[in-house]
Amino acid sequence: MFEQLSVITERISMRGVSAVAFAQVLRTIMERMLWEVVADREGGFLARTHGFYSYYGAEVRISIVKNEAVISIQPVDAMYTSGEECRAYMDRLLRAIELESGQMEEADRNLHPMHREKYGALLVSKSYLITPVLVYINVLLLLLMVLSGISPLTPSAASLFQWGGNFGPAVAAGEWWRLVTYMFLHGGVVHLLGNTFALLYVGMFLEPMIGKGKFVMAYLVTGIGAGLVSIWAHTAVVSVGASGAIFGMYGVFLALLTTSYIKRSYRKTMIRSILFFVVFNLMYGLQGNTDNAAHVGGLITGLLVGCAIYPGLKKKVAAFI
């Protein structure tokens, strides 16, 4: 009788690295070990240690679920490959993954942002954390406001003020913290949804490009700049929303697109996209009930911040850019 096929299975954490980056580096590791990827599967792929047609060696199945990779190795034919050999294959692969952990983090930083559409722009990774967290905070605050009895569609100016809306006389009286809290509040679900899409779009490109620390610093600084311009232009109006900071992040991106930090082939498309966003939203804001002063203030602050952080960006942006 032939020996029953032995299956060796290991579960390993991806340590916050995105699924696509993890899979990319895992494929590179297997190519280096002369293992052959023979089929793509939903959420993973199939490989062989000795090619597709050989009876020798083992079959390697990779499944990626959430923040965990499941690796299963079994003999192609138990007559030729033992369970001990499969264990040795697994140990070799795990050692290689450990050695290449830095490469996985680098691949995650260099991951084309559009891949996040497949895996979710709201999923966090080591290089993409601040953007989704900002969205979660905005959503949570709106939910808390609604639960407290505030309208989810048309909250009153008084209620927005109570929750930390930006208001010139209050800021002048010493409530400076409103210049921060206002950018996490929104005037209803529609307002929140519009800002969420705009933030996700710029964040999935810009955050991996400049890093988490610079991204959160730029977001707060441009939001504060937008808030100051807003209270200068509207002395007695309660304003809320992330749009000033979001315009600021588009300003940062626009400033970097004018430098050699980003490859020339990528610049034209992104400059057009950003200018369309800016012009369209400023024109839409002329219809009223929109704080265009905050938008302009955020954009100008963002351009200045982008110019300020550029000298400190020592490493060229990802190859896809």
295 is catalytic: yes
Phi and psi dihedrals of 76, rounded to 5?
-65, -40
Both structure tokens of 183: 């950018």
- Residue 320 identity: F
DSSP character at residue 14: -
- Residue 98 identity: E
- Among candidate residues 201, 296, 218, the one with its CA nearest the CA of residue 256: 218
115 is catalytic: no
Which residue of the set 125, 230, 239, 295 is catalytic?
Answer: 295
Q: Are 195 and 246 in contact (CB under 8 A)?
A: yes
How far apart CA 122 and CA 131 sit, in angstroms, is 8
Phi and psi dihedrals of 288, rounded to 5?
105, 165
Which residue of the set 115, 243, 265, 273 is catalytic?
Answer: 243
Q: Are 125 and 18 in contact (CB under 8 A)?
A: yes
The sign of the dihedral angle between the CA atoms of 118, 131, 247, 258 is: negative
The sign of the dihedral angle between the CA atoms of 256, 258, 260, 263 is: positive
Q: With 0-12 CB in 10 A as exposed, 13-18 as middle and 19+ as buried, what is 87?
A: middle
Alpha helices for the chain (secondary structure H): 19-32, 83-99, 101-109, 116-119, 130-147, 157-162, 168-172, 178-181, 189-210, 212-233, 243-257, 264-285, 292-309
Catalytic sites, residue numbers: 243, 295
